[in-house]
Amino acid sequence: MNERISWDQFFMAQCHLVKERSTCTRLAVGATIVRDHRVIANGYNGSVAGSTHCIDVGCYVVEGHCVRTVHAEMNALLQCAKLGVGTNSASIYVTHFPCPNCAKAIIQAGISHVYYANVYHNHPYAVELLAEAGITVMHIPFEHSALTDLITKG
């Protein structure tokens, strides 16, 4: 009998693959938006299209944050907006807990579930906003070994 990884681990694995495209040297983040077990968008943190990348010139840090990059969640949401793909009642899988600005965008986009793998400065205001909006938030650590075991068995 073949063992399959769970849907959560499947989509979390995609986030971890997507983050490998990140151009920010401080922290690589990936996001995957899903509806009905289908990926509708992916995003990673990186510079605005056509602009200078952190990997080329370093991060542009203001008050402890790189302002050169668009966050992974925003990039995934903007991809949906650009292509006319609705996000209402969708779920977002993210390698790291969303910042307050991304939490606000997630709420406004109608996302109903947030799944994150890594605790990362879980800002109290982002936690509060998501709870206030009635969004289900779940910490789902990514199990690298479970995926590796399945790949090597195949």
What confidence tens digit (pLDDT) does each residue in 5-48 have?
899 999 999 999 999 999 998 899 999 999 999 999 999 999 99
For the chain, what is the mean pLDDT? 92
Nearest Cα residue to 60 out of 90, 26, 29: 26
Residue 72 reports pLDDT greater than 80: yes
Please identify which of the residues 73, 128, 132, 143 carries the catalytic annotation. 73
Active-site residue 20, yes or no? no
Residue 125, token pair as written in the block: 């205001």
CA torsion 28→53→111→87, rounded to 10°?
Answer: -130
Q: Of all helices (H) and strands (E), which one includes residue 8?
A: helix 7-18
Residue 56, token pair as written in the block: 């080329």
Which of 59 and 145 is assigned the larger pLDDT? 59
pLDDT of residue 1: 47
For 82, residues 6+ apart whose C-beta sits below 8 A from its C-beta are: none
